[in-house]
Every structure is written in structure tokens, then in C-alpha cells.
Amino acid sequence: MSATLFSALSRVLDTADVLEDSSVDQAQQRAALEATRAEWQLARRRALVLIQRQASYEYFVGVMIGTPFAIALFGCLGLLAATVWSSSISASNFLAATVCGTLGAVVSVTQRMATGRLSVDYTASVGVKRILGAWRPFLGGILAGVLQFAIIGGLLTVQGREPTPASPATFAFYALVGFAGGFSERLATDLLERAGQLIAPVRADGGDTTADGEARPAGITGRRKR
């Protein structure tokens, strides 16, 4: 990066000399200005890439800090489910979904960093970027848990054969669902929006309404797919 900045500054100084030289015609001056602009834009792009890379690293540090705390939190919730809500919630399936959702969020951040698709607001302070990064594993686990409840409640159906509660494949099934929900926020939010449409109140004329009275198109009901 230092070589790029040195080259850009040298180009600026050379262009200044060209503009000060009265023996140089206007065509050469314009060419020098265009070359300076191109050199400066290249230096600016490279500087922004390095700044974004540093911001992504600070965000990733926050992700690594938040991951063990997120796993500990969901582990405590799983223990609570096993002792207090054992008749309503399968603690092992809940842990499979939430812990794998947490790990899915970490893998998602790592994969986007590797491909250069992770965009972070580099103008934020280091502390803010780390706090936002630390929240990402919690978000992945929460989305995974909500997806699990939506499937158990029958609001979402999955293509293919779903394992029965007594099947050994249930743990792997919810682990995969949780990982997918934590890995892709868009997938999880799209599925939750679909579940929200199914539980919307039904109007007498066949259309649905939201909580604020806004009408939805008819044909979406709260019935489960069979």
C-alpha cells in the first residue's frame, strides 16, 4: 500500500510540474491530469480494501469472543429445558438446533471474509464493531431455535420425510436446520415471515389481516399442509 501511495503522490507532483511549465501544450496537460486522476482512484480503491479488511478482522474478533458465551447461554437453556420443560421440549433437539445455529453463524462470517463479501461499517469504533460481531453468534442460535419451534408447531413444513420424535435422526435433522438458519439470515427470516403469514388472523371475506388492520391477499390460511 505504501508503494501505491508513493506512486500516486509522485504522479501528483509530476502533474504539478507539467501544469507550471508554460512550454507544455494543453493536450499534454490534460493527459497528465487524466493520468493523475486514474492513479489517485487506484490508490483510493486499494486503501478502501485495506480499511474494509481491517474492519472485517475487528468484527471477526467480536464473533470469536461472543461464540463461547452464546454456546454457554444455549447450554444453560438446554439444561433448563431438561429439568423444567422436559415434557414440552426435547433438550437434545433444542441444543442441536441452537448450538449448530451458533456455529453456522461463525462459518457464515468466515466464508464471507474469505470471499471478500463481508461488508462492515469501517467508520464505527473498534468497540462497536466487536460488539456487533459478538452478537452474531447469539443471533444465529436464536434464529435456529425459532425455526425449530416453527417446525415443531407445524407452521413450517420441510420437503422430504421428517423424522419422528423417537427417531435417532431427529437430532441430526434439527442440527442441520439450525446450522442452515444460523448460516443464512435471509433463509431464516424468509421462513419466519412465511410462518407469520400462516398465523395471521383470517378475515370473513377470505383475506388475511395484520395486527394493524392491513389486508393481505386471500388464499393464505393458518391450516397446516398435509
Evaluated on CA atoms 100, 80, 198, 173, the torsion sign reads: positive
pLDDT digits (tens, 9 = 90+) for 51-96: 888 999 999 999 999 999 999 999 999 999 889 888 888 888 999 9
Under a CB-based contact definition with an 8 Å cutoff, are residues 93 and 174 in contact? yes
Give residue limits of the domains in the chain. Answer: 2-216
Most distant CA pair in the chain: distance in Å? 92
- Residue 114 C-alpha cell reads as 474469505
pLDDT digits (tens, 9 = 90+) for 196-219: 776 655 444 444 444 444 444 333
| Mean pLDDT, the chain, integer | 78
